[in-house]
């Protein structure tokens, strides 16, 4: 008798609408705007819409902390590929849990938060060292938002087992801790403005994500306490002892 072992089906991450449209917009901006318009026709898209701390701080180009999220490296397709995969893997479940509007708000706010942390860090570095290099180097990519998503994923699904380097199983909370340590160690070894990777922006996403989650948890707790107090104020005590009833039914009756 032939034996056929049971087939193990790998569960695919959900693909909700906001995640889908963020991916469509990001890939469209990269291919149409950067690869075609900028790469072939010379339109200076990245010059105006990438994150350049000097222009944000001194020229008040305050749209850059938002627009840089949707730009990616022109020469390295792996940059946008891995970012979009991470958006799908981590963001799908978070959007299902929070809903589309809350998820989009989290994604955008923490992308901006990562940019603010990066600009402050580079600005302080330039002030104390006199080096202007970091103020002029453009930064692109959704990594700030994605590191905040990873933080939220570890926060909410901390016991979920994921595979580090596709080999080592570990709980999600430890995965996030290891990634945070790697980013910090890389920042210390390469410097604030060294290397091709903006590790400070990654850490900025984690910092922004922690602040966002703490504030969100606090506001949710306030709302729950408010509802509990409102519900307690609506309680009424009604005693109906007018009618003579059997002894077993003479106790007061309470209604909410």
Terminal Cα-to-Cα distance of the chain (whole angstroms): 66
In the three-class reduction of DSSP (H, G, I as helix; E, B as strand; rest coil), residue 199 is classed as: helix
In this prediction, residue 193 has a pLDDT band, given cuts at 50, 70 and 90, of confident
**Predicted pLDDT of residue 235:** 61
CA 79 vs CA 70, 75, 95, 143, 237: distances in Å = 12, 9, 23, 9, 64
In this prediction, residue 10 has a pLDDT band, given cuts at 50, 70 and 90, of very low
**Predicted pLDDT of residue 8:** 39
pLDDT digits (tens, 9 = 90+) for 76-114: 899 999 999 999 999 999 999 999 999 999 999 999 999
Within 10 angstroms of residue 232's Cβ, the number of other Cβ atoms is: 8
Q: Is 186 exposed, middle or buried (0-12, 13-18, 19+ CB in 10 A)?
A: middle
Tokens, residue 172? 């999600």
> What value does the mean pLDDT take over residues 27-31?
96
**Which residues, at least 6 apart from 97, have a Cβ–Cβ distance to it below 8 Å?**
156
pLDDT digits (tens, 9 = 90+) for 152-187: 999 999 898 887 766 778 898 998 999 899 999 999
Q: Look at strands 168-171 and 161-164 and give their pairing.
A: antiparallel
**Predicted pLDDT of residue 2:** 53
Class of domain 17-229: mainly alpha
- In angstroms, the CA 96 to CA 100 distance is 8
In this prediction, residue 242 has a pLDDT band, given cuts at 50, 70 and 90, of low
For residue 38, what is the DSSP state? I
Which one, of 167, 23, 144, 29, lies nearest residue 95 by Cα?
23
CB 172 within 8 Å of CB 160: yes
**Which residues, at least 6 apart from 119, have a Cβ–Cβ distance to it below 8 Å?**
51, 53, 56, 57, 65
pLDDT digits (tens, 9 = 90+) for 43-67: 999 999 999 999 999 999 999 999 9
Which one, of 111, 115, 94, 112, lies nearest residue 18 by Cα?
94
- Helix residue spans in the chain (DSSP H): 17-28, 45-49, 53-58, 64-67, 77-98, 100-129, 133-136, 143-156, 172-190, 199-233
**Which residues, at least 6 apart from 171, have a Cβ–Cβ distance to it below 8 Å?**
158, 159, 160, 161, 162
What residues does each domain of the chain span? 17-229
Record the pTM: 0.84
- In angstroms, the CA 241 to CA 120 distance is 71
């Amino acid at each position: 008798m032939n034996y056929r072992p049971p087939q193990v089906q790998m569960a695919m991450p959900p693909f909700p609408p906001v995640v889908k449209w963020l991916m469509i917009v990001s890939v469209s901006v990269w291919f149409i705007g950067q690869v075609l318009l900028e790469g072939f026709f010379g339109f200076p898209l990245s010059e105006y819409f990438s994150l350049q701390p000097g222009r944000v701080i001194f020229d008040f180009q305050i749209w850059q902390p938002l627009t840089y999220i949707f730009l990616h490296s022109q020469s390295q397709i792996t940059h946008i590929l891995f970012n979009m995969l991470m958006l799908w893997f981590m963001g799908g479940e978070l959007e299902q849990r929070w809903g589309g509007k809350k998820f989009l708000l989290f994604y955008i706010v923490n992308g901006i938060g990562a940019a603010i942390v990066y600009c402050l860090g580079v600005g302080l570095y330039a002030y104390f060292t006199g080096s202007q290099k970091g103020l002029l180097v453009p930064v692109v990519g959704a990594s700030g938002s994605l590191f905040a998503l990873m933080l939220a994923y570890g926060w909410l699904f901390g016991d979920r087992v994921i595979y580090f380097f596709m080999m080592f199983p570990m709980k999600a909370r430890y995965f996030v801790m290891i990634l945070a340590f790697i980013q910090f160690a890389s920042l210390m070894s390469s410097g604030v403005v060294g290397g091709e990777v903006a590790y400070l922006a990654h850490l900025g996403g984690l910092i922004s994500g922690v602040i966002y989650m703490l504030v969100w948890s606090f506001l949710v707790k306030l709302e729950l306490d408010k509802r509990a107090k409102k519900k307690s104020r609506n309680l009424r005590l009604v005693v109906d002892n007018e009618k003579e009833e059997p002894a077993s039914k003479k106790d007061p009756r309470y209604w909410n």
